C-alpha cells in the first residue's frame, strides 16, 4: 500500500493568503456583502483542520520536517492574530460611530457652522455666511439669490486676506427693502492678486433639527434643509434671537 506525501507547506501558505485576502475584502465591503464573505471564507478552524489532516496522512517513511511544522504553526498563530485584530477594529469602529451619534444628538436645537451656501431669514434673524479664501484676493463679491434663483443683492466686499471671513446679511435687497422670510442662497467670487479667479469654499450657520446615521456615517440636518456630515461641522455659535 502506497502513501502519498502531502506538500503541507505550500497548501498552508496558500490557505493563509486566501484567508488574509478574504479578511481584507470583508473590511472594505458593505455590511451585507461582508457577512457573505465571512461565511464563505476560510478561517482559523479550517487552517487547523488542514494541519491535522496533513499530520494524519503524512508518509511514515518521509515524515513532515520539524522546521516546516514549526513554520506552519507560526503561520497559524499569525492568522489568528490577524483575525483578532480585524475583529477588534470592527468593534472599535462600531463603538466610535455610536459615540459620535450621541455627541451629534447634543447639537439638536443649536446653531452651528457647517459646509453649505444657504442662509435662513426669519424675521430680523438671518444666518451668517462664511467663506474661505485660499490666498489673498484683490476683489471679492458676494451674491444673494432667492428660492426662484433671482438675485436679491450683490455686495462688493473689496480686497480680502487669506483665510475665513464672514458676512452678515441684514435681510434687505439692494434698495433697502426687506425681503420675505425663507431660505436664500449665496455665492462668492474672488479674484487673486495676480488677476486669476480663486476657488472659494463656503459655509453658513444653521439650526440643527435632527441627527441621522447610515452605513456608519453620522449626519445632521438643519432647518434650511441641509444634510451635513457630523465631521464637517466647523463650530457651534450662540442661538439666534427670535423676532
Rounded to 10 degrees, what is the CA torsion of 141, 142, 144, 145? 60
Would you call 112 exposed, middle or buried from its count of C-beta atoms within 10 A (0-12, 13-18, 19+)? buried
Given this model, what pLDDT does residue 69 score? Answer: 66
More confident residue, 148 or 19: 148
Q: At 37, is the pLDDT very low, low, confident or very high (cuts 50, 70, 90)? A: very low
Rounded to two decimals, the pTM is 0.56
Given this model, what pLDDT does residue 226 score? Answer: 81
Span 60-77, average pLDDT: 70
104 lies in some domain? no
Same structural domain for residues 74 and 133?
no
13 lies in some domain? yes
Task: State the total domains in the chain.
Answer: 2
Same structural domain for residues 79 and 117?
no
Same structural domain for residues 126 and 223?
yes
Q: At 22, is the pLDDT very low, low, confident or very high (cuts 50, 70, 90)? A: very low
115 lies in some domain? yes
Q: Which of 38, 72, 87 is the last residue of a domain?
A: 87
Same structural domain for residues 153 and 206?
yes
- How many Å apart are CA 82 and CA 93, to the nearest integer? 16
**Domain of 21, in residue numbers:** 8-87
Q: What is the CATH number of the domain that holds 189?
A: 2.60.40.4070
140 lies in some domain? yes
- How many Å apart are CA 171 and CA 71, to the nearest integer? 75
Given this model, what pLDDT does residue 90 score? Answer: 74
Length of the chain: 243
Amino acid at each position: 500500500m502506497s502513501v502519498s506525501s502531502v506538500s503541507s507547506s505550500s497548501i498552508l501558505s496558500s490557505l493563509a493568503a486566501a484567508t488574509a485576502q478574504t479578511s481584507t475584502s470583508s473590511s472594505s465591503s458593505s455590511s451585507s456583502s461582508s457577512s457573505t464573505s465571512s461565511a464563505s471564507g476560510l478561517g482559523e478552524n479550517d487552517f487547523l483542520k488542514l494541519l491535522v489532516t496533513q499530520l494524519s496522512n503524512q508518509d511514515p517513511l518521509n515524515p513532515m520536517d520539524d522546521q516546516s511544522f514549526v513554520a506552519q504553526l507560526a503561520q497559524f498563530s499569525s492568522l489568528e492574530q490577524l483575525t483578532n485584530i480585524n475583529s477588534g477594529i470592527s468593534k472599535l469602529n462600531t463603538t466610535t460611530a455610536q459615540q459620535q451619534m450621541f455627541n451629534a444628538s447634543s447639537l439638536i436645537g443649536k446653531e452651528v457652522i457647517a459646509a453649505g451656501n444657504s442662509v435662513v431669514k426669519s424675521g430680523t434673524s438671518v444666518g451668517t455666511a462664511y467663506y474661505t479664501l485660499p490666498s489673498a484676493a484683490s476683489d471679492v463679491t458676494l451674491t444673494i439669490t432667492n428660492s426662484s434663483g433671482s438675485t436679491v443683492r450683490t455686495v462688493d466686499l473689496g480686497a480680502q486676506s487669506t483665510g475665513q471671513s464672514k458676512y452678515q446679511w441684514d435681510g434687505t435687497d439692494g434698495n433697502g427693502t426687506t425681503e420675505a422670510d425663507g431660505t436664500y442662497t449665496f455665492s462668492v467670487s474672488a479674484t487673486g492678486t495676480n488677476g486669476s479667479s480663486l476657488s472659494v469654499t463656503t459655509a453658513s450657520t444653521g439650526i440643527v433639527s435632527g441627527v441621522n446615521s447610515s452605513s456608519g456615517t453620522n449626519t445632521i440636518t438643519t432647518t434650511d434643509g441641509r444634510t451635513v456630515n457630523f465631521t464637517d461641522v466647523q463650530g457651534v455659535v450662540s442661538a439666534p434671537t427670535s423676532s
